[in-house]
A = this chain, B = another copy of it.
Amino acid sequence: MPFLDITSPTLLLNTQVCRANIKRMADKCKRLGVGLNPHFKTHQSKEVGNWFKQEGVERITVSSIVMAEYFADAGWDDITIAFPVNVREMDRINSLAERVKLSLFVVTVESAISLSTLLKHKVEVIIEVDAGYGRTGIPVDITDRIDKILGAIDAAPQLSFYGFYLHAGHTYDVRGKQSVADIHQQSLSGLQVLRKRYKTTYPHLKISLGDTPSCSMLDNFDGVAEIRPGNFVFFDVTQATIGSCSFSDIAVVQAASVVSIEPSRYEILVHAGAIHLSKESMLMETNDGERDVYGLICQLSHGSWGEPLEGCYVRKVSQEHGIIRMDKSLFGTFVVGDVVGILPVHSCLTADCMGGYLTEKDEYIRMMNWRR
C-alpha cells in the first residue's frame, strides 16, 4: 500500500501503464516499419530508459548536452541532441562525440561553421526544419540557408549530413484526430519537397519527426525513417484532451496532501504548487465556464488511481499552494489529511519539477539531475 503512506508532495508512477505506453509505440513502429528513436526528455531516467531497451530500442533522442552525458553514462551509445547546437558547449560536445555516436541539430550557418572549425570527432548533422510551428527550425522554403549549411557540412571531414527533422508542436494546440492529421500532412508535404530537392545529392538522407499527437494517433508516415516522440511515455491531461490517449493511459500523478477545506467556495487546498506541478495550464470548459486549469483531480487507491473526477480541477497554483475547485456534489470526497491525486497538464514539466517518481512497488526512481 505504498501510496497511502505519502506525507509530502510525491510524483507517483504506475509502471504498468508506462510500460504499456512504451510497448504500444514500439509495436506500432514495428508494424509500420518506422524506426523509433524516442525522446527521453520526459522521463529523464535510466530505469525508464531500460524499459525502452527491452522493447528493442537502441537509439535515443535528448534535449541537452547534460542529458546526453547522463544517458551515455547509462550505456546508450547512439544519441541525438534534439536542440539547436549550442556552440558555447563545444568542449563537452567534443568529449561526448569521442565516446558515442552523436547526432546534432543545426539550424544556422554560423553554427555549422563553428562545428566544422571546432569539432574534433565525427558527428552526424540533422537540419531541423519547420513547416508552420514557428518555434525553431529553418522554414522549409528557405532553401538557400539549407544549402549553405550543407556546404559547410560537406567541407568538413568530421561532419556528415544525416537528414531533416521536423517537430510539429502546433498539434498541441488542436483537438481531435482530423485536426492533428491536417497538420501532420502539412509536415509530410514540406518534408517531401525537401527530400525531392536533396535526394540526388544525398541519397541516404533520412526524414524524422516527433510530436506525440501525430505519433500516437496516426498511421501514415510515408517517407519517414524514424519518429522521435517523448511525452507518450507518461502522457498527461493535454494529450488526453487532444485525443492522443485516454485518461487511463496517463502514467504519472501528483500526490498532494489536503491541508484545508473552504466550504464557502467548494475549494480544497493541497500541498502541491507551481514548484511541484509546474505553472503549465490549459484552457478547459469547467463548471465555472472556460478557465485555466492546472491539473485534474482523481482518487488514489492501492498503487493506482481512477479517472478524473467530473467537474473538479486545480484552479490556481502559487509556489507551494494548489487550490482545487470541487464539483458541489463531490465536495465531501476529501477531508483534511487525505491525499489527492492530480493528473498533470504537462507531465514533462511536472516530472522535471519533481526530480523522481514513486512507483506502485514502493520503489523510488530518481531522475537525472541537470541542476548544477
User: Which A residues contact B (CB, under 8 angstroms)?
Assistant: 6-8, 10, 41, 63-66, 83-89, 91-92, 107-108, 110-111, 114, 134-136, 139, 142, 169, 257, 259-261, 264-265, 269, 271, 274-275, 278-280, 316, 318-321, 323, 335-337, 339, 348-349, 352-356, 364, 366, 370-372
Contacts and interface: CB of A to CB of B under 8 A. Distances in A.
Given A83-B271, A139-B264, 13 more contacts: A63-B320, A83-B259, A83-B321, A89-B257, A111-B336, A111-B337, A135-B321, A136-B323, A142-B264, A274-B278, A278-B278, A279-B280, A353-B353
Most chain B beta carbons < 10 A, residue from A279, A318, A319, A370: A319
A110 B268 CA distance: 14
A189 to B, nearest CB: 20
A41 B319 contact: yes
Nearest to A111: B336
A65 B8 CA distance: 9
A371 B352 contact: no
Given A134-B265, A264-B139, A87 B278 contact: no
Nearest to A67: B320
A108 B274 contact: no
A369 B326 CA distance: 32
13 contacts: A8-B65, A8-B86, A63-B319, A63-B320, A64-B320, A83-B259, A86-B271, A108-B261, A111-B259, A136-B260, A139-B264, A278-B279, A319-B352
A269 B88 contact: no
A135 B271 contact: no
Contacts of A89: 7-8, 257
Q: Which secondary structure dominates chain A's binding surface?
A: mixed
Nearest to A10: B372
B356 A366 contact: no
A318 B269 contact: no
A220 to B, nearest CB: 25
Closest 5 CB pairs of A and B: A355-B371, A84-B259, A110-B336, A279-B279, A7-B88
Integer count of this chain's copies in the complex: 2
A177 B353 CA distance: 34
A364 to B, nearest CB: 7
A339 B88 contact: yes
Contact of A269 (B84, B279, B337): B84
Contacts of A372: 10, 355-356, 364, 366
Contacts of A323: 135-136
Contacts of A348: 319
Contacts of A41: 319-320
Nearest to A337: B87
A135 B259 CA distance: 12
Most buried by B among A264, A275, A280, A366: A275
Given A86-B259, A260-B84, A275-B352, A169 B7 contact: no
B83 A349 contact: no
A303 to B, nearest CB: 18
Contacts of A366: 372
